[in-house]
Structure 1
Amino acid sequence: MELTKIILDENEMPKSWYNILPDLPTPLDPPLNPGTNEPITFEELEPIFSTELIKQEMSNERYIRIPEE
């Protein structure tokens, strides 16, 4: 297997991630809370994940800005 490595300068680093969700033909069902079988809320995810990660996971934006920190 051939290994390819791409090295980018700091100014060439991506500024956003592509989110496939807006381009799907039909929306995905929301993730469910295993205890209630209801769609999970932002608040229920906060003890487990960082705020920025929850925003990214719950976003329907086509491009999601990569946080600086």
Structure 2
Amino acid sequence: MTNTKKYVLGEDRIPKAWYNIAADLPSPPPAVLHPGTGQPIGPGDLAPLFPMAVIMQEVSTERWIEIPDPVREIYRMWRPAPLIRAERLEKALDTPARIFFK
């Protein structure tokens, strides 16, 4: 087994966009159903729970979603926490993907 590796990234490496996997799926994921009605949920159903900007990100089909500056500022506060590469998990899954966690 290999040792876990830690990566400390500088503030200049803070992501500017989130990757939206839905853009690369072969078909759209099934609609989320309202627990009370059993019908697909629309933005109006989510509005009491989430800000509209979050709802728009959730339903977006764009591959990259820009991270708002206020969120990036909060990331800057916590960026000193290292990313740790899960090499043993990668090996157990037999994946070429690199998996990281905080």
* TM bucket normalised to smaller: 0.7 to 0.9
Give me the whole-angstrom Cα distance separating, in 1, the residues matched to 2:12 and 2:51. 26
Structure of greater Rg? 2
Give me the whole-angstrom Cα distance separating, in 2, the residues matched to 1:50 and 1:4. 37
Q: Deviations over 1:25-47 (max 9, x none)?
A: 12111111111111111111011
Percent identity over the alignment? 45
Give me the whole-angstrom Cα distance separating, in 1, the residues matched to 2:6 and 2:58. 28
Deviation at 1:2, TM superposition (A): 4.6
How large is the RMSD of aligned CA atoms in angstroms?
1.7
TM-score by length of 2: 0.58
Which has a greater percent of strand? 2
Which has a greater percent of helix? 2
Tell me the amino acid that sits aligned with residue 12 of structure 2.
N
Gaps of 5+ in 2: 71-102
Gaps of 5+ in 1: none
Structure 1 runs (4+) greater than 6 angstroms displaced: none
